[in-house]
Structure 1
Amino acid sequence: MDTFGLVQAGACPFRGRGRAADRYATAFFTKKAELAELVCDEWVVLSERHRVIDPDEEVEGVDREFTELEPAARARWSMDVVAEVVSRVRKHEYDRVVVFADRPMRNALKERGGLLSRVAAAGAETVEPLAGIGGRERQERWLDEQLEIRTGDGEPADADLEADLGEAG
């Protein structure tokens, strides 16, 4: 099953230009990115300023969070992001889109961008591994557990996320 990951970035803790994965490298983002690297065939960064960007793309740092956008701007952002995601799903024939994002971003993508129906129409399912886990601290613990399963205990790096999601969701 070919999988496409969406990893939410927060406010950029670093100034200047640099690789997107490095500019957004908070501890929380890094955990999500590491898991996406292990369970997805390709993954991208979702940011307030840059929308959908490849992890190796050069970007300028920014210090705003997604939740700081006005409602109309969130709606436009969501529609643009979902259009890009659907385009990539169709182009690469992904079977699954895994969204590593917090509730406000997931809800905007679903309610304003039509993520679930548009991804389904493109032939893929949407998985939200962080949904239903609780706050950020619990999500970080879950991410730590998933990373340990895949890297620390000799388990294969492509351990089935879907099986783990049954326990998380």
Structure 2
Amino acid sequence: MVSLGLVQAGPEPARTWTPAAEAYDTEFFRLKREFARRSYDEWLVLSAAHGLVEPDEVIERDEVDFADVKPAEGARWAMETVSELAALVRRNEFEEVAVLASRPVRETLVERGGLESRMAAAGARTVEPLAGLGDEDRQRNWLAEQLEIRRDAGE
């Protein structure tokens, strides 16, 4: 199964132009990034300012935090992002799209962008590995445990 992971950008962007994979310097972003690298065939950064970003794409510092986005802007962002994602899924024949993002971001993508139905129409199922795990601390712990299991298994 060809899979794609989406990793939500962190709230603390780098100070200068830098590759997206290195642009957000928080433990939570690093854990999600490493989990995506080990778990999916490809992965992208999911940014409130830049939308879908290739990990090696050099981006400028952004001050946009998902928590600060107004509902109308969030709806527009979700529709544009999901449209771009649907085209990418079709083009690359991804069968699974995993969203490693906060609950508000996942809900915006699903409710405002039609994520699940549009991915299904494009031929992919949507999974949310962090859904139902509770707060960020629990999600961080789960990611760390999953990465440890993969390291122990030699992946």
TM-score, normalised with respect to structure 2: 0.97
* Counterpart residue number, 1:129: 129
Q: Quote the Cα distance in structure 2 between the aligned partners of 1:14 and 1:36.
A: 20
What are the equivalent positions in structure 2 for 1:83-98 lying under 5 Å apart? Answer: 83-98=83-98
Q: CA deviation at 1:139?
A: 0.2
Q: Quote the Cα distance in structure 1 between the aligned partners of 2:148 and 2:53.
A: 27
What are the equivalent positions in structure 2 for 1:1-169 lying under 5 Å apart? Answer: 1-151=1-151, 153=152, 155-157=153-155
Q: Number of residue pairs matched?
A: 155
Q: Quote the Cα distance in structure 2 between the aligned partners of 1:87 and 1:134.
A: 32
The 10-residue stretch of structure 1 (4-13 or 133-142) with the greater mean CA deviation from structure 2: 4-13
- Aligned to 1:13, what secondary structure does the other structure show? coil
- Aligned to 2:5, what secondary structure does the other structure show? strand
Q: Which amino acid aligns with 1:130?
A: L
Question: Any unmatched runs of 5+ in structure 2?
Answer: none
- Aligned to 1:14, what secondary structure does the other structure show? coil
- Aligned to 2:14, what secondary structure does the other structure show? coil
Question: Any unmatched runs of 5+ in structure 1?
Answer: 158-169
Q: CA deviation at 1:16?
A: 1.2
- Aligned to 1:7, what secondary structure does the other structure show? strand
Q: Is the 8 A contact 1:133 1:139 kept in 2?
A: yes
Q: CA deviation at 1:25?
A: 2.7
Q: CA deviation at 1:64?
A: 2.5
Q: CA deviation at 1:156?
A: 4.6
Moved over 3 A (4+): none
Task: Name the Cα RMSD after superposition.
Answer: 0.9
Q: CA deviation at 1:62?
A: 1.6
Q: Quote the Cα distance in structure 2 between the aligned partners of 1:56 and 1:12.
A: 18
Q: CA deviation at 1:86?
A: 0.7
Q: Quote the Cα distance in structure 2 between the aligned partners of 1:84 and 1:5.
A: 14
Q: Quote the Cα distance in structure 1 between the aligned partners of 2:124 and 2:117.
A: 10
Q: Is the 8 A contact 1:12 1:61 kept in 2?
A: no
Q: Is the 8 A contact 2:10 2:25 kept in 1?
A: no
% identity of equivalent residues: 51
Q: Is the 8 A contact 2:78 2:112 kept in 1?
A: yes
